[in-house]
C-alpha cells in the first residue's frame, strides 16, 4: 500500500505520520504540495522505491476560506496520485475542528472527485488519543465534544457533539452513520452499510479501527473509495498493510543525529494540554501578547535579546502566547490577533535558527506550526521516534532568505497532544 494523505494542518500530518511509522510503515511529511518545477523529483521521493509507505502532504487549510481549502487539497491529492498513491486519505482533526461552512465536508467532496469515489468512509475516533465515536457522538477524553475544552477553541469552537449534524451543512452529499453495534459484526457488515456520500463510523477501540480499515480495504478492492478521519484509521490501515506485506520500520525512519546548539519551544496554542505543559515547565519563559505586538514594535526585540543570551544550549527556552485569548480577540479581532502571533512566532523561529544557530525546535499548535515551518522554508520532514503518541520528532532542512540550509530537529505538536511533562521530557528521544 502506498498511503497518500492530505492533511488539513501540519501537526495533524505529523500525528498521522508518527503513528503510521510506529506501526511499521515508513512515512514522510511534505509541507505543502511541491511546486511544478520540483514536483517530479518530490514525487520520486514521496514513497519508498520498492514497497509500501506513507506520504502526507501537510496543508494549512483547516480554517482557510473554503475555495482555497478545496483548491489546495485538490492539488495535493493530484500530486499524491501522480506520485503513485494507491489509497487516498483525508486527514482532519480528531476533534473534527470545522465550522458550518467547512472545511471537512468541502475537502471530502473535492478529494472524492479527484479519485472518482462515490463514497468516503472514516471517523475522527483515535482511541489511543482519547477520541471515541459512539452513535455518531464524538467523545474527547470521555466528555462529549461540545462539553470538552474544544467548546471554546479560538478558531473552531465545537458546540455540537453529533458529527453527522456537524458535517451535514458542510456538504451537498448525504451523510450516513455506521453504528458501533454494526462495527462489532466486522468489516463485511461495515462495508455493506456504506452508502454513496460520506459515512462516519463509530469506533471505541483500536479493534474497531481495524474493522473499519478492513471495510475500507474490501470497498477499495471493488472501486475507488476515499478513506478519512483522524490518525486512527490511517494507523489501522498501516497495521493491516504490515500484517499483509511485512513492511517493517527501516532505516528510512531512523533519523540522523542533530547536535544540540539550542532548544526553543514556541507555544501558540491555547489548548488545555498545552496550558498544562506550560504550567509544568520550570525553565525560562517569555510571553507574546498580541495586544503589545500591535502597539509596541520593541516587544519582539526584547524576546530576541533574551534568546541571544544563552548560558546552557541544552536548557529549553519557552515563548508562549498570552493566556487571555478573549481580551486580545475583543481588542484586535480573532484574525488580527492570530496573524500577529503567527508572524511573531515565525520571526522568532527564523531568528533563533538562522541567526543564533538553535538546533531543536518544539512548536505547540497546528496553526502556529504552519506559520513557523513556512517562515523557516521547510519543505519535507523525515519522521522518526515519537516523544508522545502522535507527536514525532522529525529532521528537516530549514532554508534562510539567501537559500542556505540548516539541518534542524523539529517537533510539531497539536495543541491538544502530549502529557504535562512534554516540554521537559521530549528532548530525551530527540534526534
Ligand atoms: P491548537 O493546535 O491548540 O488548535 P493553534 O496554533 O492551531 O493551536 O491555534 C491556536 C490559535 O489561537 C492560534 O491562531 C493563535 O494565534 C491563537 N491564540 C493563541 N493565544 C492567543 C491570544 N492570547 N490571543 C488571541 N489569539 C490567540
pLDDT tens profile 75-125: 999 999 999 999 999 999 999 999 999 999 999 999 999 999 999 999 999
pLDDT tens profile 271-284: 999 999 999 999 99
Question: Residue 170 — φ and ψ, nearest 5°?
Answer: -90, -5
268 CB within 6 A, ligand 1: yes
CA distance 41 to 54: 17
Q: Is the pLDDT of residue 315 over 60?
A: yes
**Residue 151: pLDDT band with limits 50, 70, 90:** very high
Answer whether 4's CB lies under 8 Å from 80's CB: yes
> Which helix or strand (DSSP H or E) is residue 407 part of?
strand 405-413
CB atoms within 10 A of CB 416: 29
341 CB within 6 A, ligand 1: yes
Q: Is the pLDDT of residue 391 over 80?
A: yes
Q: Is the pLDDT of residue 69 over 80?
A: yes
Counting ligand 1 atoms within 8 A of each CB, the residue from 9, 15, 60, 269 with the most, and so the one to mutate, is: 269
CA distance 88 to 5: 6
CA distance 140 to 161: 10
Q: Whose CA is nearest to atom 22 of ligand 1?
A: 325
How much is the pLDDT for 333?
95
Q: Is the pLDDT of residue 252 over 60?
A: no
CA distance 264 to 278: 13
Q: What CA dihedral angle connects 403, 405, 408 and 413, to 10 degrees?
A: 30
Answer whether 396's CB lies under 8 Å from 381's CB: yes
321 CB within 6 A, ligand 1: yes
Answer whether 222's CB lies under 8 Å from 89's CB: no
CA-CA distances (angstroms) from residue 222 to 52, 216, 242, 244? 21, 10, 21, 18
Q: Write the CATH number of the domain with boundaries 2-245.
A: 3.40.50.10840
14 CB within 6 A, ligand 1: no
Counting from 1 in the atom list of ligand 1, the atom nearest the Cα of 329 is 25
Q: What is the pTM of this model?
A: 0.89
359: exposed, middle or buried (C-beta count within 10 Å: 0-12, 13-18, 19+)?
A: buried
Q: Is the pLDDT of residue 251 over 60?
A: no
For the chain, what is the mean pLDDT? Answer: 94
Q: Is the pLDDT of residue 246 over 90?
A: no
337 CB within 6 A, ligand 1: yes
CA distance 83 to 42: 8
Q: Is the pLDDT of residue 156 over 90?
A: yes
Beta strands in 171-267 (DSSP E): 175-178, 197-201, 226-229, 263-267
pLDDT tens profile 186-213: 999 999 999 999 999 999 999 999 999 9
Q: Does domain 263-429 have CATH number 3.30.1490.20?
A: no
Q: How far is the CA of 195 from the centre of ligand 1 (A)?
A: 37
> Which residue in the block uniquely carries the three cell numbers 531568528?
351
Q: Is the pLDDT of residue 182 over 60?
A: yes
- Higher pLDDT: 253 or 222? It is 222
Rg, Å, the chain Cα set: 21
Write down the domain spans for the chain: 2-245, 263-429
Q: What number is the average pLDDT over the span 414-430?
A: 95
292 CB within 6 A, ligand 1: no
Q: How far is the CA of 322 from the centre of ligand 1 (A)?
A: 10
Q: With H, G, I as helix, E, B as strand and everything else as coil, classify residue 151.
A: helix
How much is the pLDDT for 155?
87
414 CB within 6 A, ligand 1: yes
Counting ligand 1 atoms within 8 A of each CB, the residue from 61, 331, 338 with the most, and so the one to mutate, is: 338
Answer whether 24's CB lies under 8 Å from 249's CB: yes
Strand partners, 61: none
Q: How far is the CA of 269 from the centre of ligand 1 (A)?
A: 5
270 CB within 6 A, ligand 1: yes
Pairs from 342-345 (Cβ < 8 Å, separation ≥ 24): 342/268, 342/367, 342/368, 342/370, 342/371, 343/371, 344/288, 344/293, 344/300, 345/266, 345/268, 345/288, 345/319, 345/371, 345/372
Answer whether 129's CB lies under 8 Å from 388's CB: no
The 10 Å CB-count burial string (b at 16+, else e) for 68-103 is ebbebbbbbbebbeebebebbbbbbbbbbbbbeebb
How much is the pLDDT for 250?
54
338 CB within 6 A, ligand 1: yes
Q: What number is the average pLDDT over the span 322-341?
A: 95
CA distance 309 to 387: 27
- Higher pLDDT: 256 or 181? It is 181
CA distance 64 to 232: 24
pLDDT tens profile 13-59: 999 999 999 998 989 999 999 998 888 888 888 898 878 999 999 99
Q: Whose CA is nearest to atom 6 of ligand 1?
A: 365
CA-CA distances (angstroms) from residue 324 to 32, 269, 291, 367, 385? 32, 12, 10, 18, 34
Counting ligand 1 atoms within 8 A of each CB, the residue from 341, 412, 413 with the most, and so the one to mutate, is: 341
- Distance in Å from the first CA to the final CA of the chain: 28
Amino acid at each position: 500500500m502506498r498511503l497518500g494523505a492530505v492533511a488539513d494542518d501540519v501537526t495533524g500530518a505529523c500525528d498521522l505520520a508518527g503513528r503510521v511509522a510506529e506501526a511499521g510503515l515508513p512515512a514522510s511529511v511534505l509541507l505543502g504540495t511541491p511546486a511544478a518545477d520540483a514536483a517530479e523529483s518530490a514525487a520520486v521521493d514521496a514513497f519508498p522505491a520498492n514497497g509500501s509507505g506513507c506520504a502526507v502532504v501537510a496543508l494549512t487549510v483547516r480554517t482557510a476560506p473554503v475555495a482555497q481549502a478545496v483548491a489546495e487539497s485538490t492539488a495535493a491529492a493530484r500530486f499524491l496520485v501522480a506520485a503513485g498513491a494507491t489509497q487516498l486519505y483525508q486527514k482532519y482533526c480528531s476533534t473534527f475542528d470545522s465550522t458550518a461552512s467547512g472545511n471537512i465536508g468541502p475537502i471530502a467532496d473535492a478529494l472524492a472527485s479527484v479519485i472518482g469515489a462515490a463514497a468516503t468512509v472514516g471517523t475522527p475516533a483515535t482511541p489511543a488519543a482519547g477520541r471515541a465515536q459512539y452513535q455518531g457522538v464524538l467523545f474527547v477524553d470521555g466528555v462529549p465534544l461540545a462539553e470538552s475544552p474544544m467548546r471554546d477553541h479560538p478558531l473552531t469552537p465545537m458546540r455540537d457533539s453529533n458529527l453527522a449534524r456537524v458535517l451535514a451543512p458542510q456538504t451537498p452529499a448525504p451523510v450516513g452513520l455506521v453504528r458501533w453495534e454494526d462495527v462489532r459484526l466486522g468489516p463485511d457488515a461495515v462495508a455493506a452499510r456504506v452508502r454513496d456520500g460520506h459515512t462516519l463510523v463509530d469506533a471505541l477501540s483500536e479493534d474497531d479501527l481495524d474493522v473499519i480499515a478492513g471495510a475500507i480495504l474490501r470497498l477499495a478492492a471493488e472501486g475507488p473509495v476515499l478513506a478519512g478521519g483522524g490518525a486512527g484509521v490511517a494507523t489501522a490501515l498501516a497495521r493491516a498493510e504490515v500484517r499483509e506485506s511485512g513492511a517493517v520500520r527501516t532505516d528510512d525512519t531512523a533519523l540522523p543525529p542533530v547536535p544540540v546548539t539550542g532548544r526553543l519551544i514556541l507555544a501558540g496554542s491555547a489548548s488545555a494540554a498545552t496550558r498544562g505543559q506550560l504550567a509544568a515547565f520550570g525553565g525560562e519563559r517569555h510571553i507574546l501578547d498580541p495586544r503589545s505586538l500591535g502597539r509596541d514594535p520593541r516587544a519582539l526585540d526584547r524576546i530576541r535579546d533574551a534568546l541571544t543570551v544563552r548560558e546552557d544550549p541544552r536548557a529549553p527556552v519557552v515563548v508562549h502566547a498570552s493566556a487571555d485569548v478573549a481580551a486580545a480577540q475583543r481588542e484586535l479581532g480573532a484574525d488580527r490577533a492570530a496573524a500577529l502571533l503567527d508572524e511573531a512566532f515565525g520571526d522568532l523561529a527564523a531568528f533563533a535558527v538562522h541567526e543564533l544557530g538553535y538546533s531543536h525546535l518544539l512548536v505547540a499548535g497546528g496553526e502556529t506550526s504552519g506559520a513557523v515551518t513556512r517562515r523557516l522554508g521547510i519543505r519535507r520532514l523525515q519522521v522518526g521516534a515519537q516523544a508522545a503518541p502522535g507527536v514525532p520528532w522529525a529532521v528537516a532542512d530549514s532554508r534562510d532568505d539567501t537559500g542556505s540550509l540548516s539541518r534542524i530537529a523539529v517537533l510539531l505538536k497539536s495543541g491538544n497532544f502530549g502529557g504535562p511533562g512534554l516540554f521537559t521530557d521530549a528532548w530525551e528521544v530527540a534526534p
